[in-house]
Amino acid sequence: MTVMSRLRAHGRECADRLPPSQPWEHSTRPPRLRKAITVGFFAPTEARRELLIASIGPRARKKASAGVSLEKAFPSNVCTFGSTLLMLSPAQEIARRRTFAIISHPDAGKTTLTEKFLLYGNAIHLAGAVKDRKNQRATASDWMELEKQRGISISSTVLQFDYAGCAVNLLDTPGHKDFSEDTYRVLTAVDAALMVIDAAKGVETQTRKLFEVCRRRGVPIFTFMNKCDRPTHNPIALLDELENVLGLQSSPVIWPLGNGPQFKGVFDRRTRQVHLFERVPGGKFQAPVNVTSLDDPAVRDKLDDDTYAQVKEQLEMLDGAGHPFDLKAVQAGQQTPVYFGSAVNNFGIQLLLDGFLKDSVPPAPRTSVSVSVPGMAQPTAARVVPVNDPKFSGFIFKIQANMDAKHRDRIAFLRVCSGKFDRDMVVTHQRTGKQVRLSSSHKLFGRERETVDEAWPGDVIGLVGHSEFGIGDTLTEDRSIFYNEIPRFPSEVFTYISNPTSADSKKYRAGLEQLLQEGVVQSFTARNAPPGATLLAAVGPLQFEVVQWRLQSEYNAECRLTRTPWTVLRWLSLADGSTTGLAKGTIDYSKFVVASGVSFGTDKFEQPVVLFPNEWTMRYFTEKNPDIRLHELPLDQAPRD
């Protein structure tokens, strides 16, 4: 039988075995056939599917003819061979989507883990490093020059790849608290989160904050205890800390064999197998692994007597008193599976990736809210929008400009929530009520992009060239849908920004306007502000440095930052919650009793705000002005009594 005949026969067999709506188990495959599989299976058009056959070159055919098992050479879901072209149903396409974010405290190894997922997912062939060394490539997710210089993530990044039958949308988020607004927005677009913890430090401050955001949204959380190649806390103590500090039931899936220099591998509690690893230079390549049982003499040779006895004792304790793995509890956000490993050395990464994709959840329904929108006589409907709703809908959770230095464009990141996205489709921009054609749509991989013709719920796509889009906007074919997913947070630091060079005024204004649209910082108009200055507000001071750096590097515009004394901002309303009598130009500020240093202003929607130097001046204002209420959030988001 010829190779092509065998391929067609295998395709027909796979079609009979294919589950109706579930993703498929992973099968290993020779590297030379990976590209052919990707091109053929994931291509949306008939012409690209035929390209699969052309992609199987002479060397690959020779390899297949030499006896490589087609069951191993091709995963069981690849059934697009010759005349056997298997089209996935919408339910199958949606079920294989996995959209998740990696969250952590700074320096826990989040971006390194992201890079290793790409390595093991065959999206890259050489892993980069967060801290660049000579002749070493940078990470795929930290593409901004300032990120490379500082070795930290400043902007969230979307990375998409196909692995084990799943279409993976991975979002790498900033860990530093000064960029938490960007992280919080990203968490509205994901269905699950992977929490990375430094096993030597345990649960840290920023980890707690991000965990609480996930918990409030009901997002399933998986935990990776990283840096086991260094001296760490006792693994049992780390589990106790998870439960005591975060209040989350933990169930260890992968257990470490030793720690620090004695860390030699991991034990899979579900398969009862030991995975022994070998270090690779710089962690650039996949770590060689030897799979065996805990009683194998090779394991005894690798571990000293104390470590081996300790591991046996810990595993017996977990089997007797630990929480059993409960998939329903995991997917409901009530239990977290715990994995141990070392991202920098590639120990336990494939087990984590495979386990996460297997146990994580497909795209979940979203909630539409009732609001009045332009062009509609009736408000939108307050209802749950299922992922299998036939009408396309989605919301924009991030905007980024100048990702490609050769093109001064902007990309709006859209999470698809229902229906099917087709390039060139016409949808309604709900905030303006206008119809727009989505002709320039892209699949994203860091700063790289490629045109995408279709997308399904769970996917994140980039829309280029729509200056009218803003963060939080809803795009839909069904005008009764309106998403209100994006949270806003009270700012904590403030500064004036101004242009010291009049010759750069045009570039300065264009750059600042773009950065404000991206939501890098917020802007306010303050009374008695210096001439030509704009008041900026942010969660942390590093955001101002990013604004200054991007204005210089991307727009060649100088700017000057001037510190202000304020630390607290609140929105104003009357005691009954209304703003009648507080509209711009009608406020008599002289009637307010205020302490020294307090100032007034408006936000970009002309809503009145008040700025305080400290908490005491705010309490004094509240006591002396009982007819005025203060709100941490804008009036449209402030809670009502």
pLDDT in tens, 454-470: 999 999 999 988 888 98
Residue with tokens 């199958």: 92
Question: What CA–CA distance (Å, rounded) separates 210 from 195?
Answer: 9
Q: Which pLDDT value is given to residue 38?
A: 37
Alpha-carbon distance of 172 to 170, in angstroms, equals 6
Q: Is residue 416 over pLDDT 70?
A: yes
**pLDDT at 22 exceeding the cut of 70:** no
Predicted confidence at residue 180, as pLDDT, reads 65
In whole angstroms, give the CA distance from residue 158 to residue 400. Answer: 11
Name which residue leads in pLDDT, 428 or 214. Answer: 428
In contact, 504 and 557? CB cutoff 8 Å: yes
Residue 144 pLDDT: 53
Which part of the chain has CATH 3.30.70.3280?
Answer: 493-631
Contact 356, 194 (CB under 8 A): yes
Sheet holding 265-268, edge to edge: 254-257, 265-268, 273-277, 289-292
Q: Residue 184 pLDDT > 60, yes or no? A: yes
Instruction: Check whether 28 has a pLDDT greater than 50.
Output: no
145: CB partners within 8 A, 6+ apart: 553
Cα gap 232→509, rounded to integer Å: 50
pLDDT band at 154 (very low <50, low <70, confident <90, very high): low
- Give 306-327 pLDDT, tens digit per residue: 999 999 999 999 999 889 999 9
C-alpha–C-alpha distance, residues 415 and 444, integer Å:
12
Rounded mean pLDDT, 430-445: 90
User: Which DSSP helix (H) or strand (E) runs through 502?
Assistant: none
Look up residue 508 and give its amino acid. Y
pLDDT at 58: 46
Beta-bridged to residue 573, according to DSSP, are 629
**358 pLDDT more than 60:** yes
612: its two tokens: 């305080």
The CA radius of gyration of the chain, in Å to the nearest whole number, is: 27
Angle between helices 3-17 and 58-65 (to 10 degrees): 70
pLDDT higher than 90, residue 403: no
Least confident of 105-114, 269-278, 280-289, 510-519: 280-289
Residue with the bigger pLDDT between 56 and 500: it is 500
What span, in angstroms and rounded, lies between the C-alpha atoms of 340 and 254? 6
Give the mean pLDDT of 56-79: 40
For residue 423, the surrounding DSSP H or E stretch is: none
Would you say 341 and 198 are in contact if contact means Cβ atoms under 8 Å apart? no
| Least confident span in 230-234, 301-305, 361-365, 574-578 | 574-578
Structure tokens at 74: 């091709």
Whether residue 49 has pLDDT greater than 90: no
Checking if the pLDDT of 237 tops 50, the result is yes
Is 222 within 8 Å of 193 (Cβ atoms)? yes
For the record, the structure tokens of 613 come out as 């130097």
> Quick check: 14 pLDDT over 80?
no
Helix or strand run (H / E) with residue 246: helix 235-246
Residue where the block lists tokens 């936000």: 603
Return d(Cα 473, Cα 137) in angstroms, integer: 36
Q: Would the pLDDT of 557 be above 70?
A: yes
Enumerate the β-bridge partners of residue 569: 611
Give the pLDDT confidence score for residue 174 in this predicted structure: 74
pLDDT range class, residue 76, cuts 50, 70, 90: very low
Bridge partner residues of 421 (DSSP): 455
Q: What residues does CATH 3.40.50.300 cover in the chain? A: 93-359, 366-476
pLDDT tier at 56, thresholds 50, 70, 90 = very low
Give the pLDDT band (50/70/90) at residue 120: confident
| Arithmetic mean of pLDDT, 139-162 | 59
The share of the chain scoring above pLDDT 90, in percent, equals: 42
Which of these ranges, 187-191, 253-257, 280-284, 319-323, has the smallest mean pLDDT? 280-284
d(CA 266, CA 264): 7
Report whether pLDDT(84) > 70: no
CB 331 within 8 A of CB 220: yes
Q: Is 105 exposed, middle or buried (0-12, 13-18, 19+ CB in 10 A)?
A: buried
Q: How far apart are CA 21 and CA 577, in angstroms?
A: 49
Provide the whole-model pTM.
Answer: 0.77
At 325 the pLDDT is 95
536 pLDDT exceeds 50?
A: yes
Q: What is the mean pLDDT of residues 201-219?
A: 88
Closest CA relative to residue 398, chosen from 518, 317, 515: 518
Mean pLDDT of 364-385: 93
Give kind and range of the element (H or E) at residue 601.
strand 599-602
Answer whether residue 346 shows pLDDT above 70: yes
Cα(252)–Cα(223) distance, integer angstroms? 9
Tell me the DSSP string of 437-489: EE--EEEEETTEEEE-SEE-TT-EEEEES-TT--TT-EEESSTT--B------
The average pLDDT across 47-62 equals: 41
> What pLDDT band is residue 281 in, cutting at 50, 70 and 90?
low
Burial (CB < 10 A; 0-12, 13-18, 19+), residue 66, is exposed
The architecture (CATH level 2) of 366-476 comes to 3-Layer(aba) Sandwich (3.40)
CATH number of 93-359: 3.40.50.300
pLDDT(567) > 50: yes
* pLDDT tier, 108 (very low <50, low <70, confident <90, very high otherwise): confident
Residue owning tokens 């998870």: 242
pLDDT, greater one: 551 or 88:
551
Q: What is the pLDDT of residue 172?
A: 78
Please give the pLDDT value at position 636: 63
* CB 498, CB 379: distance < 8 Å: no
Q: Determine the residue type at 479.
A: R
Say if CB 10 and CB 75 are below 8 A apart. Answer: no
More confident residue, 10 or 360: 360
Q: What is the pLDDT of residue 25?
A: 33
State the average pLDDT for the chain.
79
Q: Which one has a higher pLDDT value, 382 or 543?
A: 382
pLDDT confidence bin for 407, thresholds 50/70/90: low
Selection from 139-143, 235-239, 296-300, 633-637 with the highest mean pLDDT = 235-239
CATH homologous superfamily for 493-631? Peptide chain release factor 3, domain III (3.30.70.3280)
Strand 534-538 vs strand 522-526: parallel, antiparallel, or unpaired? antiparallel
Structure confidence at residue 286 as a pLDDT band (50, 70, 90):
confident
Per the model's pLDDT, the better-predicted residue between 108 and 426 turns out to be 426
Q: Cite the DSSP H helix spans in 43-164.
A: 46-55, 58-65, 70-73, 90-95, 110-120, 145-150
Number of helical (H) and strand (E) elements in the chain, helices listed first: 18, 33
3-state SS, residue 297: helix
Q: How confident is the model at residue 244 (pLDDT cuts 50, 70, 90)?
A: very high
pLDDT of residue 637: 54
* Tokens of residue 72, six digits: 């191993």
> Which residue's structure tokens are 């500020």?
589
DSSP secondary structure code for residue 432 in this structure:
T
Average pLDDT over residues 159-185: 79
Residue 505 in 3-state DSSP? Answer: helix
Q: How far is Cα 274 from Cα 258, in angstroms, rounded to an integer? A: 12
Is the predicted pLDDT of residue 4 greater than 70, yes or no? no
How much helix, strand and coil, in percent to the nearest 5, is found in the chain?
30, 25, 45
